[in-house]
Structure formats: C-alpha cells, structure tokens
Chains A and B, each alone.
Chain A
Amino acid sequence: MMDFTEPVTWVASILGLAIATSGFIVVTSKNLIHAALGLVGALAGTAGLFLVLSAEFVAWVLVLVYIGAVLVLFLFGIMITRAPVGYDVDLDNDRKVIAAVGAGSLFILTSFAALDSFGDTALLGIGDPTSTGDLADALLGRFVLPFELVSFVLLAALIGGITVARKDATPIAVGETEE
C-alpha cells in the first residue's frame, strides 16, 4: 500500500490533494472566472501527476492543449460574454442532486477499476521518461487506427465549424429584401 517513507508518495499525495481542492473550487465557486481558474489548477496538478509517473510527453500535452488552448478559449468566451467581478447568485441549478449522484458513482466506479487493476502496486521512485521515439512507434504502429480515427473526428469538427461560421455565398434574388 502507501509507503510514506518514499518521497515520491508524498509528492503524489500532495498533488492529489491539490487536484481535489481545485476541483472543489470549480464546483462550488460563485464566480465563473474563479471556477475556470480552479480548472487550470486541477489540470496543472494532473500534469504534475503524469510527471511523477514519468509520462513526460502526456504531461506537457496536457499543459499545451488544455491549459494553453482549451482553457484560454474558455476564459476568452466567458470574459467576452459575461464576466462581472464579484459573485453571481444564480449559478446553481435544480439538478444538483442528480449531478452529485452521477459524479459519486463515477468516482466509485473508477476507484474500483483502479484498485482492481493495480491493487497493492507501490510507486517506487521516478523512472526515466518514455522516449519520444518509442511513443512515436506506438502511436504510428500499434495504435495507428485509433490515432487516425481521432484525427478524422477533429477534421469533421473543423469542417463543421467552418460551415457554421462561413457567410452564405448565394446572392440575394432581385425583389427580395434582406431581413
């Protein structure tokens, strides 16, 4: 089980605690920006956990894609629409209980899955990071099909975005007025 003589266990535990605290802020904060910044903290903590597990590449992908792009877009969207400094009163909604039950059962499910597959495995020190060459071989070798499928989904999303955003090119017929 947890071996607290290993420094790495302490690091992992503190990171886990920080992630849980940030997650709590995300859910309970009465200010949208604070909630989004809590999400930044949670993702940064997750990246830290990946570093502890010597998955360097995944950790920095998390930082680059989620903190550097997705959350910047989140914050951008919130700030450009509604972002008062201070506290909102109507951020809660009626489906609180259902959401809590859903999140709780998901937590129990993933905990059981993790315990079932790893059980008593202890983290003993930090190993060497996976070399990018091995990672590339795995992505473009064994996992090439899921990799391509994901990029296909992204392409579809991109085309969808452009279709929604583009101006309609058909000219207005004579006699019609633009409403």
Chain B
Amino acid sequence: MRIMIDSVVEFLQGNFWALTALKLVAILTLIPVSGLAIGFAELKLSAKMQNRVGPYFAGGRWGWAQLLADGIKFIQKEDIIPADADRPVFRWAPALVMVSAVGLFVVIPFWDGGAVADLSIGIFYVLAISSISTIGILMAGWSSANKYSLMGGLRAAGQLIAYELPMVLAVIGVVIMAGTMSLSGIVKAQADFSLFGWSGFGDQPIANFISPFFILQFVGFLIFFISALAELSRIPFDMPIAESELVTGYLTEYSGFRFLFFFLAEFSNMFTMSAIAATLFLGGYLGPFVDVAPWLGPLYLVTKIGVLCFLMIWFRWTFPRFREDQLQSVAWKVLVPLGLANIVVTAIFKVVM
C-alpha cells in the first residue's frame, strides 16, 4: 500500500499535466461540496434561529440530502430563455460568474505549499478575478429583458464597485504588515511575526492560535468582512436580489441549471471569501501543533472558514436589509476613510517597528 502511494506521488511530481489535471478535479469537486455544505448549514441554522425544524425527511435523517434533491430538481427543469432575451448574452452570464468562483479557489493555501498555484501576486489576483463576476451579473440583468432584472443588475454593479474599494484598502494594510502579496507568504509572515523584537506570537505552537494580524489589523478585518458581505450580496446588503422589491433582481428569469450555476457560485464564493479572510487575518492553516502535525492545517483552515460562514448566516437571519442610499454612504463615507486611515497608521507602525 505504502509503496503504491509513494509511486503515485512520484509520478505526479514528475508529470506537470497529470498534477494540474488532478488539482483541477480537486477544485471542481470542492465547489459543489463546499456549496452544498454551506447551503445545508444555512437551511438548518436559519431554521434553528426561527424556531423551526428545517429540512427533515430527505435522506432519512436530519434532511441531509435536501440540497442534493434540490440540485437534481434544478437539472431536470426546462432551461427557459425569455422570448425577448438576448440569447447569447443570457446563456454566457452564469458561466462568467462561475469562472470567477472557480478562479478564486486557485490561490488558497490549504496547507504549507497546498495551493493549486502559489502566485507571487496572490491577493491581487484574488481581487482581480473576483471583479469579473460583476460583468456576468450585469450581463444577466440586461439580457433578461426585464425591468426588475435590469434594476437588480444595476444595483449589483453599483454595490460591487462601491465595496471593491474598501476591500482593496483593507487588504493593503495586511500587505504592508506582511511585506508580500503571496497568500502563502502572508500566512508565513503571521507565523514569523515579531513585535519590537518580541516574537511571542510565532514560534510557540499554542500562541499562534490567534494571529497577530487579527489583533493589529482588526479594523482592516472588519472592513474586509463587511465588504465581503456586500460583494456576496448577502443580507444586510442584498438589494440586488431583494425579493420583495425586485422579484430577486437579475435572477428573475433564470431557471434550471443556469439558476443552479448562480446558486452554487454564491455559496462557493462564501466559502472562498471566508477562506481568504481567514488566510489574511486569522492565520490561514496555522494553529496549535501544526508545525509537528501538518495534516492539522486544512482542518484549522476549514474550522476558521466555518466560523466566518456561521457569522454570515447569523447576520443574514438577524439583520434587516439596508436602504440603497444608506449602503452607498456606508461605503464611501465610513469604510473608505477608515481604510485610508488604517493604511496610514499601519505604514507608520511598520516603519517604527
């Protein structure tokens, strides 16, 4: 058995294309799996918060197969395209949203060296690739030939542009602290961090449970998390898909597996955005004893992602929706100045340190 594993590993290390194919398969299975897991958590947690039971029968126990059943239902449904719609644009919009969801998975380091591609511009790539989905959403909104969809698409674009900026500003604080844009480099910088020559955060396996960046960049973390909520169009920032005002906005005309694409992209984006927040601010795969037992790394990362996703779900079922003008003033009048101040303070701190 052991010899077999060794020979497989050797084959993969020597063969670039086989390794790339394996990584692609891993990403393409991780997207539906993470989407289903978070979607199911959302169903069950929302039920708990509203004193309901939630899905109960599907799969025999706890309703664990509810979303699988939903997925099969979506695939069986007819793929309806409205008569007045712009057909090619309508067809390609979900694909573009999915491209951005897949692309985000590429740079996340799940363990030391465990990223599909460890780009030296890592976090910059994340910001760039996540901005592609805006085009897909605008395409979906416009090509549906529906007033509600167009309004939803426009709201989404306005919101994503407004919150892209504070997100970039929040990331810059971390990049200044770490001195690198590579995601694995940022994780390592959190392990090796020293404050005025005192490296108490790093070497001790117990101490690196709390990342130094979480404490020193707490403002950045808050800005990043709020912007991530807005980029994901989740409550309290879900005006683009507000069902009571816009009949779910740009999603109105989509059905069947095209709707499934948007749905999966939303939940897998929740996973990746939480993963990136965890990598930047919570130490990624670091945790107690991870230096002696590297297999703990992915578990720590998934735990941190789970906590952040739980927060997102909690917010969704406890906060009311913002108004459109309130949303814009929060971004431009509060988060952007706060982000700029954070950069200035961090830069001064970095020079002094």
Q: Which residues of A contact B (CB under 8 A)?
A: 31, 33-34, 37, 40, 56-57, 60-61, 63-64, 67-69, 71-73, 75-76, 79-80, 83, 85-86, 129, 131-132
Interface residues in B44-79 (C-beta closer than 8 Å to A):
none
Interfacial chain B residues near A71, Cβ < 8 Å? 135
- Would you call B157 and A33 a contact (CB within 8 A)? no
B238 at the interface (CB under 8 A from A): no
If A33-B86, A76-B158, A79-B153 touch, whether A40 touches B120 (CB-CB below 8 Å) is: no
Tell me the bound Cα distance from A37 to B132 in angstroms: 12
If A83-B142, A131-B120 touch, whether A76 touches B157 (CB-CB below 8 Å) is: yes
Interfacial chain B residues near A67, Cβ < 8 Å? 131-132, 135
B138 at the interface (CB under 8 A from A): yes
Interfacial chain B residues near A86, Cβ < 8 Å? 86
Interfacial chain A residues near B302, Cβ < 8 Å? none
| Smallest Cβ-Cβ distance to A130: which chain B residue | B120
If A79-B150, A85-B84 touch, whether A56 touches B120 (CB-CB below 8 Å) is: yes
B22 at the interface (CB under 8 A from A): no
Q: How many whole Å from B340's CB to the nearest CB in chain A?
A: 13
- Would you call A80 and B135 a contact (CB within 8 A)? no
- Would you call A68 and B164 a contact (CB within 8 A)? yes
Tell me the bound Cα distance from A57 to B121 in angstroms: 7
Tell me the bound Cα distance from A35 to B131 in angstroms: 20
B125 at the interface (CB under 8 A from A): yes
Tell me the bound Cα distance from A73 to B202 in angstroms: 44
Q: How many whole Å from B231's CB to the nearest CB in chain A?
A: 11
Tell me the bound Cα distance from A136 to B150 in angstroms: 41
Tell me the bound Cα distance from A63 to B129 in angstroms: 7
Tell me the bound Cα distance from A132 to B145 in angstroms: 44
- Would you call A56 and B119 a contact (CB within 8 A)? yes
Interface residues in B120-160 (C-beta closer than 8 Å to A):
120-121, 124-125, 127-129, 131-132, 134-135, 138-139, 141-143, 145, 150, 153-154, 157-158, 160
Tell me the bound Cα distance from A177 to B106 in angstroms: 62
B181 at the interface (CB under 8 A from A): yes
Interface-centre pick from A60, A72, A131 (highest chain B CB count, 10 A): A72
Pick 30 A–B contacts, CB within 8 A, sort by A. A31-B86, A34-B89, A37-B89, A56-B121, A57-B124, A60-B124, A61-B128, A63-B132, A67-B135, A68-B134, A68-B135, A69-B164, A72-B134, A72-B157, A72-B161, A75-B138, A75-B142, A76-B161, A79-B141, A79-B142, A79-B153, A79-B154, A85-B86, A85-B145, A86-B86, A129-B119, A129-B120, A132-B121, A132-B180, A132-B181
- Would you call B85 and A40 a contact (CB within 8 A)? no
Q: CB within 8 A of B154: which of A31, A64, A76, A129?
A: A76
Interfacial chain B residues near A33, Cβ < 8 Å? 86, 89, 142-143
| Smallest Cβ-Cβ distance to B139: which chain A residue | A37
Q: How many whole Å from B295's CB to the nearest CB in chain A?
A: 31
Q: How many whole Å from A162's CB to the nearest CB in chain B?
A: 11
Interfacial chain B residues near A129, Cβ < 8 Å? 119-121
Tell me the bound Cα distance from A179 to B63 in angstroms: 65
Interfacial chain B residues near A37, Cβ < 8 Å? 89, 135, 139
If A76-B157, A76-B158 touch, whether A85 touches B85 (CB-CB below 8 Å) is: yes
Interfacial chain A residues near B85, Cβ < 8 Å? 85
Interfacial chain B residues near A64, Cβ < 8 Å? 124, 127-128, 131
Tell me the bound Cα distance from A68 to B145 in angstroms: 23
If A33-B86, A60-B121 touch, whether A72 touches B135 (CB-CB below 8 Å) is: yes
Interfacial chain A residues near B143, Cβ < 8 Å? 33, 85
Tell me the bound Cα distance from A89 to B134 in angstroms: 29
Tell me the bound Cα distance from A83 to B89 in angstroms: 13
Q: How many whole Å from B334's CB to the nearest CB in chain A?
A: 18
**B98-122 to A contact mask, C-beta < 8 Å, 1/0:** 0000000000000000000001110
- Would you call B181 and A60 a contact (CB within 8 A)? no
Interfacial chain A residues near B180, Cβ < 8 Å? 132
Interface-centre pick from A56, A60, A131 (highest chain B CB count, 10 A): A60
Q: How many whole Å from A51's CB to the nearest CB in chain B?
A: 11
Interfacial chain B residues near A61, Cβ < 8 Å? 128
Q: CB within 8 A of A73: which of B121, B125, B132, B161?
A: B161
Closest 8 CB pairs of A and B: A68-B131, A64-B128, A63-B128, A60-B128, A85-B145, A75-B138, A85-B86, A76-B157
Tell me the bound Cα distance from A125 to B153 in angstroms: 41
Additional A-B contact list (9), CB under 8 Å, known A34-B89, A37-B89, A37-B139: A31-B86, A33-B86, A40-B135, A64-B128, A67-B132, A68-B134, A72-B157, A76-B154, A79-B150
